[in-house]
Structure 1
Amino acid sequence: MKKNRKIRNNILLVMLMATGIIGSAQNEIDKPFGLVYRDAISENIPGKVNIHPVTYKLNDIEIAANIYTPANYDPAGKIPAVVVAHPNGGVKEQVAGLYAQLLAEQGYISIVADAAYQGASGGTPRNVDIPQNRIEDIHGMADFITQYEGVNADKIGLLGICGGGGYSLKAAQSDKRFKAIATLSMFNSGLVRRNGFMNSQVNTIQERLKKASEARAQEAAGGEVIYAADNAIPTEEAELANIPYDLYREGYIYYGNTHKHPNSTFRYTMSSLLYLMTFDASTNMNLIDQPLLMIAGNKADTYYMTDEAYKKATNAKEKELFLIDGATHIQTYYVPEYVSQAMEKFSGFFGKHINPDA
């Protein structure tokens, strides 16, 4: 069975590399608004979903965000809104933007912002990846969108994707402005940075903490910032085929080829590990008393993270775990069939809990 699976993976990989999954045009960043996902908005047309690039300050850092407004947008209205948190290393122009646009097509105002220190947002050094910052980003998006013209501040939903999903669970534990919480392919960043993916680095925890401590000391002394990962993304077929995990193999293709964006990077400061390795998105899940929907692919090698967090959400007003048949983690980002299934669930979930009159 393992041999057959490897053969299937290699065949799929060749197909992906040859076809670019959805076409080489997806790689072009000269599109309006810099969006790199399929069927992205190319121009703002009256009477249709529109996109509005905005900036705002969060703790003295300028945040770059996109707000999507529905076709029936009325600045004087009271429209429910959804905050969307992007994956680790991702930016607002990729999968988070796709789901934000699709939510706007369902009648919601949606916002997706680049994390502080990442993407087009400000903050130095670049690519700091501290959990509390990412959680604060989500609170900050809520701050901004509740003041936006036409938004009903009493009807705010939250959707977190991948790493943004883990941080959304944390944000929702205390921030009760979010009336309904959803995650897609949730990734527990702290768990993986500490133990390694599927507990593959448990034996090197102390060694990596030492490196993080040394990096922090070097930064404090005014030295060069050290990064835990560089920008080198494997692109050779043979190199990709040897990667044992679907998450990383397909992730390299998504971020390095088919949905590549210049602001998207796997880099993060080594000193960030001081915070990442003590973080766990699945702790205090009993604080979530809002409705909760968690979605993952039933073939996702990251599913164990969703499963653990979901089981701990014992006080959620109501909760549902939905598995997309046949989907891996990354495939929920772009494959039309899987995106469609996820959106059907999100539509029903948010419709029930923040837009019941639609």
Structure 2
Amino acid sequence: MSSIEHITFRNADMYWDIAADLHLPPDFDPARTWPAVVVAHPIGSCKEQTSGTVYAPALADAGYVVIAFDASFQGASGGEPRLLEDPAQRVQDFSRVVDHLVTLPYVDADRIGVLGICGGGGYSWAAAKTEKRLRAVVSITGANFGRVQREIAGHDGGVVAALSAIGARRTAEARGEASTVAEFLPGTAEAAQQTGDIDIIEAFEYYRTDRGRADNGNVRFEVAHGDTALGWDAVHLVEELLDQPLLIVIGDEAKQGAFGAWRDGHEVYERAASTDKKIIEIDDASHYDLYDRPHGAGEALTSVVPFLDERLRGA
């Protein structure tokens, strides 16, 4: 059975620590060199949820050194303001994590892959465009957070209105008002049901019940810096820069949900510069089935492990 080391680290370009769990293979020997995988949690989540409880242990059991990390400003990682969801920082975190991995004598710096779930999958696409030490890319129900935020704001001037409101919020806080945090999910299961949207309904079930609830998995965001997400796009330039081996896993029921993972997955698959790319669509699986369900995450792993083995081990 794999083992876990709880670690923190800080790189030269940081003023805060990143907290991570290092999952080591059952037969781990520090005198050997191992392939490694960086695992990124969803939006508003933390390493104690699907990234570090489902995917990281499974990959470690398959023979990888796996690092499941909390994004800067979130979870147990440092950074102020708290609950900041800044895509530029989220993408930069991948390079910070790789910087740490390559200092570990038992990690093969030429055999590092990445796996991201939901928004972490979208950030994985974006990171891999410029971080070429990531040699293979896997997204699990990956979503483009910038697009999600723009669609929530609405068309016909909704995004510009949202940006103006954020500017007003920043002005208020610069003049001394307390920072404001927004809830991303409805307040009750009944309110979630009333949306009629499978992603919102199942997000509430995952994050607000014992199924997936964790102290740091809040799905809450600091409001005054939301402008960066509204102006960001995970798939910009993928046709030029995303050239690593690429596996995209989605559920066919995700096409019905507000988070748009089915649509985003197909878009990236079609546009990515990768010549070695695959898309797997799991029948009757929803966005959140791919977080932790046997019919979802379990089936995804039956494809993920062989994909990574071939690209990072030459198996």
- TM-score in terms of structure 1 length: 0.82
Contact 1:55 1:63 in 2 (8 A): yes
CA RMSD of aligned residues (A): 1.5
Residues of 1 paired with 2:192 and 2:176: CA distance?
37
Contact 2:292 2:298 in 1 (8 A): no
Equivalent position amino acid for 1:188 in 2: N
Q: Which of residues 56, 66, 70 in structure 2 aligns to 1:114?
A: 70
Q: Which of residues 236, 242, 256 in structure 2 aligns to 1:283?
A: 236
Instruction: Summarize the alignment of residues 154-233 of structure 1 with structure 2, pairs less than 5 Å apart.
Output: 154-196=110-152, 201-203=154-156, 204-227=158-181, 229-230=182-183
Instruction: Summarize the alignment of residues 24-63 of structure 1 with structure 2, pairs less than 5 Å apart.
Output: 48-58=1-11, 59-63=14-18
Equivalent position amino acid for 1:202 in 2: H
Contact 1:295 1:322 in 2 (8 A): yes
Contact 1:83 1:110 in 2 (8 A): yes
Summarize deviations over 1:39-62 as a string: whole Å, max 9, x none. Answer: xxxxxxxxx310000001141111
Residues of 2 paired with 1:67 and 1:221: CA distance?
42
Residues of 1 paired with 2:26 and 2:67: CA distance?
15
Is structure 2 residue 253 aligned with structure 1 residue 299? yes
Residues of 2 paired with 1:225 and 1:194: CA distance?
22
Q: Secondary structure at the match of 1:268?
A: strand
Residues of 2 paired with 1:191 and 1:272: CA distance?
16
Equivalent position amino acid for 2:162 in 1: R
Aligned to 2:206: 254
- TM-score in terms of structure 2 length: 0.93
Aligned to 1:341: 299
Residues of 2 paired with 1:319 and 1:68: CA distance?
27
User: How far is the alpha carbon of 1:308 from its aligned partner?
Assistant: 1.6
User: How far is the alpha carbon of 1:233 from its aligned partner?
Assistant: 5.0
User: How far is the alpha carbon of 1:317 from its aligned partner?
Assistant: 3.0
Summarize deviations over 1:181-236 as a string: whole Å, max 9, x none. Answer: 1100011100111122xxx7223212111111112222333431122x23875344
Equivalent position amino acid for 1:167 in 2: Y
Equivalent position amino acid for 1:290 in 2: Q
Q: Secondary structure at the match of 1:89?
A: coil
Equivalent position amino acid for 2:170 in 1: R
Q: Secondary structure at the match of 2:233?
A: coil
Equivalent position amino acid for 1:103 in 2: L
Q: 1:137 to 1:163 in 2, by over 3 A?
A: same
Residues of 1 paired with 2:112 and 2:175: CA distance?
43
Contact 2:4 2:23 in 1 (8 A): yes
Residues of 2 paired with 1:270 and 1:289: CA distance?
34
Aligned to 1:66: 21
Aligned to 1:308: 267
Q: Secondary structure at the match of 2:17?
A: strand
Contact 2:286 2:296 in 1 (8 A): no
Equivalent position amino acid for 1:320 in 2: K
Instruction: Summarize the alignment of residues 9-158 of structure 1 with structure 2, pairs less than 5 Å apart.
Output: 48-58=1-11, 59-97=14-52, 98-158=54-114
Q: Which runs of 5+ in 1 are unaligned?
A: 1-47
Q: Which of residues 305, 310, 313 in structure 2 aligns to 1:352?
A: 310
Q: 1:51 to 1:350 in 2, by over 3 A?
A: same
Summarize deviations over 1:246-287 as a string: whole Å, max 9, x none. Answer: 111100110010211111112112222210011010111020
Equivalent position amino acid for 1:307 in 2: H
Equivalent position amino acid for 2:238 in 1: M
Number of residue equivalences: 304
User: How far is the alpha carbon of 1:121 from its aligned partner?
Assistant: 0.9
Q: 1:249 to 1:154 in 2, by over 3 A?
A: same
Summarize deviations over 1:15-53 as a string: whole Å, max 9, x none. Answer: xxxxxxxxxxxxxxxxxxxxxxxxxxxxxxxxx310000
Residues of 1 paired with 2:192 and 2:226: CA distance?
26
Q: Secondary structure at the match of 1:66?
A: strand
Q: Which runs of 5+ in 2 are unaligned?
A: none
Residues of 1 paired with 2:188 and 2:205: CA distance?
7
Equivalent position amino acid for 2:199 in 1: L
